[in-house]
Structure 1
Amino acid sequence: MQVHARVFWLPKTGNTAEEYEDAFYPNRDGDYGGTQLRFAVADGASEGMLSGQWAQILVRAYCRAINTSQMPDLLARALPSWRDWKQHYLDLRERQGRPVMWFEEPGLEKGAFSTLLGLTLRDGDDPGWNATALGDSCMFQVRAGALVTAMPIDDAEAFGSRPFLIASNPARNNGLLERVHYATGDWQPGDRFYLMTDALAHWFVRECEAGATPWTAILAAEDPDAFDAWTATLKREHQIRNDDITLLCLEVAEDVP
């Protein structure tokens, strides 16, 4: 199985790249081959402190797992990485002469928060795909010009301002497992998968409900300059809100004779 991946990302208009709090993995465009390939996007929530880093840890935990996509196993990988990274962050602040201030301590105690959408493509004896999602980052599968799958949200009215989130503080994950969405399906050569965070996903679902084919607009914008101009137009026309934007485009290669 060969998959071509392209990723596009932008911080909120008016923010710097350092303030971008979404995450994606793998973190480069290119062709990926194997009998199991994993891809993920996540949206760090602004109500948490250091949520962008937590989102990065979550996508890596998903993509570097081998035999599981279950949330308890992913958290078992992610939480130790978070604790190590947080300690490194605190030590670095001390060495730089700017230790954590009293007003930052409640935020650190509360923790970081993020959505997660992970997709695994399988070939070999058990071909197909499975996806894991919590929150409003979404995956869409398109085949032969038609939408095959939308998950975990396929209703534009279901997008809201308070999605379910994964917390870096385990005490804040009560009820988390009941909110995780799992899905499975098949793939065919030529299928395209789109993984995206909520601002663009909301637009995508709304366009589908209106009878449009939003994947054609994405295909036309699959160039960095074109993507920047296209999303700027969507914001200017109030079709998407001003938020971090992440789009991971995957295409399963056609069979080679």
Structure 2
Amino acid sequence: MTTSTSCVYVTHLVAPKLGSTDAECEDAVAVFPGCSHDHMLREPLTAGVCDGATESALAKDWARLLSRTAAEHAMELPDVLTGGTAFEEFASSVVARWEPWLVWYTQARHAEGRPLKWYEHTKIADGAYATLLTVRVDPDDSHADATEPTWHWRAAALGDSCLFHLHENRLVRAFPVAAVEEFGTSPDLFGSRNHDAALLARRTRFTEGRCEAGDRLLLMTDALAAWLLSAGDQDDAVKQLLEFTGPDDLDGFKDWLNGLRGCRRLRNDDVAFVRIDFEGR
């Protein structure tokens, strides 16, 4: 029997809401290993996607720290994505990183001649908040003698950033939100000062699955996910999303988003999008 080799391609795009700059965007993505979108990955891959809560101070900074730390931990400790003690240790670890970052931020603001105002201190004391979606993909060595390669993936989600599994470019699974009616105005959030790691673990949902060559995983924050789930012609919506294959498409991606916003099919919110393509060779 001839053994197939496998590879994965990954790209991600982040775009601010209409009327905001890239620097103001409160959605964040981290992918490990860091490599170009046309690089053939044959090793484990992790991604963290976060949607910072606008009503909290420093949401974009927390979203960036949280997404990066989640992807790092998923790469180092796969059991993080099965819940329990491993996830609690991750939760404690990322919250512990926030205070040192705040010290650095406060000092940087002072050095720039822009010390924090009293009202900023008050809001910062309340903490920053974001949703979290973390995914890890591994080549499935348990089927090493198969003619077609497969991959095993695990995911953890707190809040309404979503993962979609496509087979033959058709949506076959959505996690953790399966229908547009399930989106609400108050999703669960990961707080930068929430030291109750067990509570965070209980509120987080975990799942896993397998992909074949030709399958895709799409990760995205809530506004784009709601658009996809509400589309009258879901196959066409998927086709539109798959037009964007790399970072060179970012300007076109922003124009496309703004077109959807203009006809009120997409809520005007920041967007983070990760595309993972599985191929056999």
Report the TM-score when normalising by structure 2: 0.84
Aligned equivalents of 1:131 and 1:16: distance in 2? 30
- Bigger shift: residues 1-10 or 232-241: 1-10
Aligned to 2:64: 56
Aligned to 2:218: 194
Deviations 1:190-239 (A, max 9, x none): 211111011100001112xx352121111134422331221111001101
The code of the aligned residue for 1:232 comes to N
Identity of aligned residues (%): 31
Contact conserved, 2:88 with 2:198, CA < 8 A, in 1? no
The code of the aligned residue for 1:24 comes to V
2:37 corresponds to 1:13: no
Deviations 1:64-84 (A, max 9, x none): 111222431321331222222
Structure 1 residues 163 and 28 mapped into 2: Cα distance closer, same or farther (>3 Å)? farther
Contact conserved, 2:91 with 2:200, CA < 8 A, in 1? no
User: CA offset at residue 150 of structure 1?
Assistant: 0.4
Aligned equivalents of 1:93 and 1:132: distance in 2? 35
User: CA offset at residue 124 of structure 1?
Assistant: 4.4
Contact conserved, 1:166 with 1:173, CA < 8 A, in 2? no
In structure 2, list runs of 5 or more residues that go unmatched: 1-5, 143-150
Aligned to 1:46: 54
Aligned equivalents of 2:176 and 2:52: distance in 1? 17
Aligned to 1:166: 190
- Bigger shift: residues 19-28 or 231-240: 19-28
Aligned to 2:129: 113
How do residues 95-244 of structure 1 correspond to structure 2 at under 5 angstroms?
95-125=111-141, 127-170=151-194, 175-207=199-231, 210-213=232-235, 214-222=237-245, 223-244=249-270
In structure 1, list runs of 5 or more residues that go unmatched: none
Structure 1 residues 32 and 111 mapped into 2: Cα distance closer, same or farther (>3 Å)? farther
What is the aligned length?
Answer: 253
Aligned to 1:249: 275
User: CA offset at residue 163 of structure 1?
Assistant: 0.9
User: CA offset at residue 183 of structure 1?
Assistant: 0.6
Alignment RMSD (CA, Å): 1.9
User: CA offset at residue 133 of structure 1?
Assistant: 0.3
User: CA offset at residue 91 of structure 1?
Assistant: 1.1
Which of residues 110, 116, 119 in structure 2 aligns to 1:94?
Answer: 110
Aligned equivalents of 2:255 and 2:244: distance in 1? 8
The code of the aligned residue for 1:184 comes to E
Contact conserved, 1:35 with 1:124, CA < 8 A, in 2? no
Contact conserved, 1:203 with 1:240, CA < 8 A, in 2? yes
Aligned equivalents of 1:72 and 1:85: distance in 2? 21
User: CA offset at residue 96 of structure 1?
Assistant: 2.1
2:41 corresponds to 1:33: yes
User: CA offset at residue 171 of structure 1?
Assistant: 5.2
User: Which aligned segments of 4 or more residues in structure 1 are displaced greater than 4 angstroms?
Assistant: 171-174
Aligned to 1:75: 91
Structure 1 residues 240 and 246 mapped into 2: Cα distance closer, same or farther (>3 Å)? same
User: CA offset at residue 173 of structure 1?
Assistant: 7.2
User: CA offset at residue 43 of structure 1?
Assistant: 0.4
Report the TM-score when normalising by structure 1: 0.91
Contact conserved, 1:40 with 1:195, CA < 8 A, in 2? no
Structure 1 residues 77 and 171 mapped into 2: Cα distance closer, same or farther (>3 Å)? closer
Deviations 1:115-143 (A, max 9, x none): 01111111243551110001110000101
The code of the aligned residue for 2:101 comes to W
Deviations 1:33-60 (A, max 9, x none): 2442101211010111111111111111
Contact conserved, 2:27 with 2:270, CA < 8 A, in 1? yes
Structure 1 residues 176 and 80 mapped into 2: Cα distance closer, same or farther (>3 Å)? closer
